[in-house]
Structure 1
């Protein structure tokens, strides 16, 4: 370390002792600075060292209810002619690469529907720090088991062949779907236990019991659903999931089977929180899931197990 000559006139003995004190002081400060740097690097921004998958600033109620999150979003279309196992779709992804890789989610539409019916979820979720693939199915009449396989085929394409594969952490994947796509979401989670999160939206499936699922699952139903009534679909789906599983049941108030087809703040808020909590293991979002949300003008009922263990 460079030493600066004092302008004071001192005796040789005093000059020597002064220089020594200066060196010790500077060395001490350097040590403190080094220690501070070490502590800072260990703590990292927002505890990033504790969880390297955290993405984005600390969340607030307003940030997860907002129509867009902190990330700018780009999108790319995938032709059905360029893929196998599903019908193509649209990939939405954070434009920036400065934060590293992201978790990814594939989303299926419902019976007779196209990806346009769930397209609003693409930019909304991607802007919170996910790569999102809204897909078309092989035919609009595909049943839940087929839609489950197509969701998995879409994830495989996303992580293996897509133009954004380098932006994705292939170990952090989830599935969502509406109606028959929601039933397909359960099928996908049953078939691939490595999935980190599943969210069926007003799901429909003839199979009512899912004790095999080990993926954290948020079941979303609607109180006014007459196509997949909660009493014969979402509620038994949720109740049949293992008691030890991180799971939740959100019943939307004053909602219908088709509520997930248009922008919905309550669906977005709890879907974002669920995906962040279990795909990114981001415990900053636990506050929105536990304690359990209370009934409100938009929530008819919410059930779940808290605190979450995954």
Structure 2
């Protein structure tokens, strides 16, 4: 915290020297007391950003930091066997190695139809290095439908917070879900079933249900312009448009991308996913700058819609 600047001495006034000396001492004493009280008030009111928001993690973000392949935290990982859990197919937990900053929010991520966790594994260390515990999961079978994948995402979060070896590192009130394709459809299902979730990010999501007015979780829908499996016209756009208009919501369409864009490291997906998770799981308004004003079309963004400023 910056030291409170000391006031300069008042300019001399005309009159006897004796009078100046007599009045100057009390005046400077009063000013010094006021300065000290101001400094104390700043301390008590949370002049440091961490005091204002105890969930902030990591240094102030920049465009370089949210697009970097790794964030400020060293990352460890642990495998979870499907034989040791119920309700989903095991997976890999990625988490900040240090406990110096206390607990972290957590995110479970599900793969798509016929896919395994390896298809979305790049998101694990990428997000964890920014200050999250991340669980990339396998589903019970590779053909599980979105409703089942939604249940499995919630089962994975429950395992993370109650039974996992890293449960003491997690703030169980700050949880989110992500998923690709049918896993993205499952993300919408999970958000509908558990309104207490803080963030949801369906990636080129597929679901036969096109209407989601029940969702109360801030949701970033990511579609791909050249998706021929879950086209934006029949999937991502209707998903977004059906969300309540009062909800913090956004629609990001990747320029020239296919359905499988989320299966490979992607700077645009990472940037806006990190910003969304930080903004709503950590309530870290330092990341609002990447979401509002709304990003404009570019070589990587075909379209971006949303509400600004955010209300949560």
Please report the TM-score for the alignment, with normalisation by the length of structure 2. 0.88
Partner residue of 1:107 out of 102, 109, 125 = 109
Residue of structure 2 equivalent to 1:128:
130
Partner Cα separation in structure 2 for residue 95 and residue 62 of structure 1: 22
- For 1:1-310, what aligned pairs fall within 5 Å after superposition? 36=39, 39-40=42-43, 42-45=45-48, 47-310=49-312
2:22 maps to none
Q: Which residue of 1 aligns with 2:14?
A: none
Q: CA RMSD in A?
A: 1.9
1:27, CA displacement in angstroms? 12
Q: Deviations over 1:99-148 (max 9, x none)?
A: 11110000000000000000000000000000000000000000000000
Distance 1:80 1:53 in 2: 32
Shift of residue 50, structure 1, vs aligned partner: 1.6
Aligned mates of 2:41, 2:107 — CA distance in 1? 36
Partners of 2:68 and 2:41 lie apart in 1 by 36
Residue 193 of structure 1 aligns to a residue whose secondary structure is coil
In structure 2, the gaps of 5 or more residues are: 1-24
Q: 1:62 to 1:187 in 2, by over 3 A?
A: same
1:19 equivalent in structure 2:
none
Matches of 2:55 and 2:40, distance apart in 1:
22
1:40-92 Cα shifts (integer Å, max 9, x gaps): 354353x1222111111111111000001111111110000110000000000
Give, in angstroms, the shift of residue 254 of structure 1: 1.1
**2 CA distance for matches of 1:81 and 1:259?**
31
Q: CA, structure 1 residues 82+44, in 2 after alignment: closer, same or farther (shift >3 Å)?
A: farther
Structure 1 regions of 5+ residues with no counterpart? Answer: 1-21
TM-score, normalising length: structure 1? 0.89
CA distance in 2: counterparts of 1:63 and 1:292, whole angstroms: 19
Taking the aligned partners of 1:189 and 1:139, their CA distance within structure 2 comes to 21
Cα offset, 1:39, TM superposition: 2.4
Residues 262-293 of structure 1, C-alpha deviation per residue, up to 9 Å, x if partnerless? Answer: 00000000000000000011111111101000
Kindly state the Cα deviation for residue 37 of structure 1 after the two structures are TM-superposed: 5.4
Give 1:214 shift. 0.5
Shift of 1:38: 5.4
